[in-house]
Amino acid sequence: MGLTLFTLLAALLVALVAVGVKGHGSSMQAFRAAVAASVAFALFLSAGYLLAEYYRPVALYLLRAADLFAIISYLAFLRLALSYPYASTLVAADVAIVTVSVALTGFMVFTDLYVADVKRLGIEFIRFEGNFYTLTTTLGASVGAVAVVIMVVRAARLKSRVYRQHLVIMALGVAASLAWGFTLSVLGPALKLSRLYALSATNILPSVLATAYALSSTRVFQARTAAKALGAWTVIVIGFGVPLGLATGVGFLFRATSSVTSVIVALLAFVVFGRWAESFSRGRLGGERDEASREQLEAAIAHLDLSGGRDTVLGELSAIMGEAFGSSWFAVLSEDDSGGLRRIYPDDDDEMVAAPGSPAIEALAALDRRVILKTDIIADASFASMKPVLSALFDVLGAEALVLAKEGRRVVGVFAFGPKRSGADYDALDYEGFDAVHGKLFVVAYYARHVARESLLETVEKEIGLADQIVRSIQEKIDPIEHAGVNVSFKCESPRGLGGDLFDSVRISEHRWFFVVGDISGKGLNASMSMVILKSMIRMLLKEEQDFIKLVARTNTFIKERLPRGTFFSGMFGFLALDKGAIYFVNCGIPAMLFRSPGLDSVVETQGEGKMLGFVKNIEPYLKTRKLVLPPGSRVLISTDGIIDAESVRGERYGKERLVRILGENRNSSAAETVAAVVRSASAFAGGRIDDDITVVTIDYDGPPKEKKR
């Protein structure tokens, strides 16, 4: 097998990569034809080479066919060069390519004019060339060269930078394949490289991989970024690839005495050096620095002084974003009361940019992305149906990047970024940066949407009052649990008006609600910002995720990866199924979920053990869904730690026992009265001042809907 193995692996790799490239149109068809021909080239060449020692007649046909497929692949790349990036129908070109391919098949495979015979002695490969061998290979290579030239010329003439970049990448890939293949296959004997003949088909790698990358990427990269990546991989290849090769080579030397040992040594070397290279590339090649700068940017936005008024806040944000992304300008659109989008910064003229119900609003609402670069609209096939509308919106704004603040389908705000001062396009790194700060921008969008203009600001309290306004407007936005079979009451309070406690409920069906109760760590503005973001995220995940455990696990991942370090969530996620008379819940560290059954007249703790969110990356293995059956007349009381941990002036803790007692004393009170009694009791215990955020929820279950009707 030997070197042929590498050729087969190359065929497998390009086939797998090509399968991952999505798209349609004539360019994509040309790419698929090129991949199919390239894979066939590699497979036929490998098979022919292997058989050339003992089955020369079969090998001869296989190797002729291999070269035929190599030329067909260049014809397919030529077709791609002629039409990309447009879905042009080039009937004449297609007919010509098919005709040439058929003619070449007859000429190259079934006559001796191209290759008369082949022979292999060990790894020495000998080819007996026909009279037209040189002419055919030169013309075949010329097809590839013409494809490269056309790609370069068309790249120079295209206005779109992203398409220009695509064509240049493709041209480089095809040129590399051409040089590589021609050197090993055609010039091999003259250059004394005939022993490497079996590797000549690995030249399919650069052309197919480069084209696959070009067709999959929708963002430009800057020369500096590309140079950095290239440098990184060079270091990895030299620093880690060479020792890996040596280790594998040493293992190979022992193959005769112990083939198993040699395979194990090679695998171990691969694992060790692979992990080493991965760790090196993550730690030393800029990944961590990029992350650190994104964290600094997040921190800068989080520290915006909201008491300064809307225009001042947006002005400061503009300066931060301009410095971070190099934008020439920055604008903010905010949803107005009618549902339209108005420009509120920098002109402050409240110009209507997108009217309510307009195609632009509908397109933004339908998008499941929060960051859009102009290059995405141009080059990403998934935007095809919205391309005209979104392009028009980008043109109206003159923007090159948009960050959307959405609550479900509603677009609360849009942050628009003008062209970069350097003249470059926003690239993949910028995209990651926008994505990382999206949560913080969401809060600013909410601030801009809900906080009064500067002229009215003087009548409003300072920071706490402002932020409290935001928090309350979001906190109060729930689907209230209103149903004949249940009575739900809750209280969410923070000692300073600002807090991270959360109660939210979402109606799932006629008799079912999803709800979440809990506490985001931290205090004041930071906690309330995290709460706002988390509430929005949970609602978004609820629409996407059918699996209850996975919903909680994804929330955990969001907290761990997106919220500030040290943030965690203690609480519970529940589904109230009134038709089943049950609560299905996941305890994520809620300290008290008390249940009182009318039959037993006693109170029991039902929360069980729970794991708080935000401590580990993957919490799924730790999560467990529990079911609490609710007999008619039963009551459930849920409380966050603010009540339980309330301290008296003597340093005593309120604790669960007092909560149980209040629940028992209020067995004939309504849900609302019971909540009020708990808060009153804890507040009195703490000398009138509870230090922490508190949330208390009481659910009184009267019976399933059917029983009520009877």
Partner 1 sequence: MTGISVEATTRGSWTVLAVKGPINSYTYNELQEKTMRHAGRVDMAVDLSGVNSMTSAGIGVLLAAVEDAIAAKKRFVIVAPSEVARLAIESTGFADQFPSVPSLKELPA
Cβ within 8 Å of residue 316, ≥6 positions away: 304, 305, 308
Between 45 and 612, CB nearer to partner 1: 612
- Which of 60-68, 394-402, 533-541, 563-571 is the region at the interface with partner 1 (rule: CB under 8 A)? 563-571
Binding residues with partner 1: total (CB under 8 A)? 28
Token pair belonging to 163: 């398409």
- Which residue in 20, 122, 423, 566 binds partner 1 (CB under 8 A)? 566
> Shortest distance, CB of residue 464 to partner 1, whole angstroms?
14
Of 479-508, binders to partner 1 (CB under 8 A) are 495
Closest CA to 120 of 36, 71, 191, 62: 62
> Shortest distance, CB of residue 347 to partner 1, whole angstroms?
39
> Shortest distance, CB of residue 615 to partner 1, whole angstroms?
4
Q: Does 545 bind partner 1 (CB under 8 A)?
A: no
- Which residue in 310, 438, 611, 635 binds partner 1 (CB under 8 A)? 611
Between 400 and 641, CB nearer to partner 1: 641
Q: How would you classify the pairing of strands 501-509 and 410-417?
A: unpaired
- Which residue in 299, 691, 706, 707 binds partner 1 (CB under 8 A)? 691
Vertex 472 angle, CA 467 and 477, to 5°: 135
Classify 486 as helix, strand or coil. strand
389 phi, psi to nearest 5 deg: -70, -45
Between 85 and 614, CB nearer to partner 1: 614
CA atoms of 280 and 288, how far apart (whole Å): 11
- Which of 169-177, 309-317, 435-443, 519-527 is the region at the interface with partner 1 (rule: CB under 8 A)? 519-527
Q: Does 567 bind partner 1 (CB under 8 A)?
A: yes
Classify 686 as helix, strand or coil. coil
- Binding mask 50-79 toward partner 1 (x if CB under 8 A, else -) reads ------------------------------
Between 564 and 705, CB nearer to partner 1: 564
Q: Does 624 bind partner 1 (CB under 8 A)?
A: no
Within a 13 Å sphere around the CA of 39, how many CA atoms are in the beta-carbon half?
16
Q: Does 591 bind partner 1 (CB under 8 A)?
A: yes
- Which residue in 48, 130, 188, 522 binds partner 1 (CB under 8 A)? 522
- Amino acid code (one letter) for 254: F
Between 262 and 556, CB nearer to partner 1: 556
- Which residue in 609, 617, 668, 710 binds partner 1 (CB under 8 A)? 609
> Shortest distance, CB of residue 568 to partner 1, whole angstroms?
6
Q: Does 275 bind partner 1 (CB under 8 A)?
A: no
> Which strand (E) or helix (H) includes residue 233?
helix 223-236
Within a 13 Å sphere around the CA of 277, how many CA atoms are in the beta-carbon half?
19
CA atoms of 256 and 659, how far apart (whole Å): 76
Q: Long-range CB contacts (< 8 A, 24+ apart) of 64-68?
A: 64/108, 64/109, 64/114, 64/115, 65/40, 65/108, 65/109, 66/40, 66/41, 66/42, 66/201, 67/41, 67/108, 67/114, 67/115, 67/136, 67/137, 67/140, 67/185, 68/101, 68/104, 68/105, 68/108, 68/109
Between 219 and 560, CB nearer to partner 1: 560
Distance from chain centroid for Cα 282: 18
Q: Does 568 bind partner 1 (CB under 8 A)?
A: yes
Between 521 and 698, CB nearer to partner 1: 521
CA atoms of 305 and 298, how far apart (whole Å): 14
Q: Long-range CB contacts (< 8 A, 24+ apart) of 353-358?
A: 353/393, 353/396, 353/397, 354/393
Q: Does 651 bind partner 1 (CB under 8 A)?
A: yes
- Which residue in 140, 188, 610, 704 binds partner 1 (CB under 8 A)? 610
Eight-state DSSP code of residue 25? S
> Shortest distance, CB of residue 521 to partner 1, whole angstroms?
4
Of 415-454, binders to partner 1 (CB under 8 A) are none
Between 539 and 611, CB nearer to partner 1: 611
Contact assessment for residue 334 and residue 448, using Cβ atoms and an 8 Å cutoff: yes
> For binding to partner 1 (CB under 8 A), which residues are involved?
495, 519, 521-523, 564-568, 570, 589, 591, 609-612, 614-616, 622, 641, 645, 647, 651, 653, 691-692
